[in-house]
Structure 1
């Protein structure tokens, strides 16, 4: 595995999910604490900082009246009802833990749903960089992580999902997807195992 061929895609690292006062914090709170998703992601970014790996974030934003969502159902309906991820609000901003890495992270805007490839130029960016390996981290495991992972697989990328850098709605859901769903199309490993594959020193 060569770092210049890898793209780490960060999904949902925004205050409304991961800040204690975030609107949807309770959705992933239990799973996040079990997987230590934030501290593990920070460690991963520290180790990848000086490599040639591409690091991308695909935040989700909506206008104040949610005009982008036409008759939404499921979690998108909930997002609209509770006014989450509104553009320009504190809840939509990147979590403070990732701020030190901002110069190293390429923000790809446009995400309005589950799949980070839809309504963004993520696909074009990966092609331009001749990326062959896609590594996915973030939230929510059963929704955006799964949807983006499947799409990357169908586009021909080798997909890796980090079991300790992703958060689900419940601990059971996290374990179920990592054990039964993701292995159908992706490699499921921890961030330390990824660093080992890249022959990077693993220290905490």
Structure 2
């Protein structure tokens, strides 16, 4: 895996998921704490920031009346009912711990559902940059991570999913996807294993 043709895609790193006062924090709180997602992601970014790796975030936003959602079901229905990820609200903003890396992170807007490739120009950006390897981190493991990962695989990218930088709704769900689902189409590893694969030497323990 070469840094120059690799992209890290950050999904769902917004306050409504990861801030203690976020509207949907309770959905992934248990899994996030077990996998130590935020600390691991920050540690990863500290090392990748000085490499050629393309770092992308694909936030999800909705207008105040959620006109983008036509008869939503499941989690999208819940998002609408609880007024999560509303454009211009603190809950829709990127979590504070990622702010130090904002100059290094390319925001790709337009995500309105599970798959980060739908309604965005993500695929176009990746192809323009010569990206062949995609690394996924964020939330929710069984929904947005899985949907985006499958789509990336079908588009011909080599997919890697970080087991300690993703959050599911439960610890069981996290383990199940990382051991039984993701390996069907992707490599699954920790962020330190990824750094080793990219031949980035970790100078200190975190």
Q: TM-score, normalised by structure 1?
A: 1.00
Which residue pairs with 1:46 in the alignment?
Answer: 46
Residue 35 of structure 2 is matched in structure 1 by: 35
- Write the deviation string for residues 77-129 of structure 1: whole angstroms up to 9, x where unpaired: 00000000000000000000000000000000000000000000000000000
1:99 aligns with: 99
Q: SS at the partner of 1:4?
A: helix
SS of alignment partner, residue 8 of structure 2 = strand
Q: Distance in 2 between matches of 1:200 and 1:128?
A: 25
- TM superposition shift of 1:140: 0.1
Counterpart check, 1:162 vs 2:162: yes
Compute the displacement of 1:25 (Å). 0.1
Give the match for residue 149 of structure 1.
Answer: 149
CA distance in 1, matches of 2:160, 2:2: 14
**1:69 aligned onto 2:69:** yes
The CA deviation string for residues 169-198 of structure 1, in whole angstroms up to 9 with x for no partner, is 000000000000000000000000000011
* Deviation, structure 1 residue 133: 0.2
The aligned counterpart of 2:9 is 9
Displacement of 1:201 after TM fit?
1.6
How many residues of Structure 1 are paired with residues of Structure 2 in the alignment? 204
| Alignment partners' CA distance in 1, 2:154 and 2:161 | 15
Misfit runs of 4+, over 4 Å: none
Residues of 2 paired with 1:49 and 1:8: CA distance?
Answer: 11
Equivalent position SS for 1:103: coil
Residue 114 of structure 2 is matched in structure 1 by 114
- The match for 2:138 is 138
Q: Aligned Cα RMSD in Å?
A: 0.4
Task: Show the counterpart of 1:171.
Answer: 171
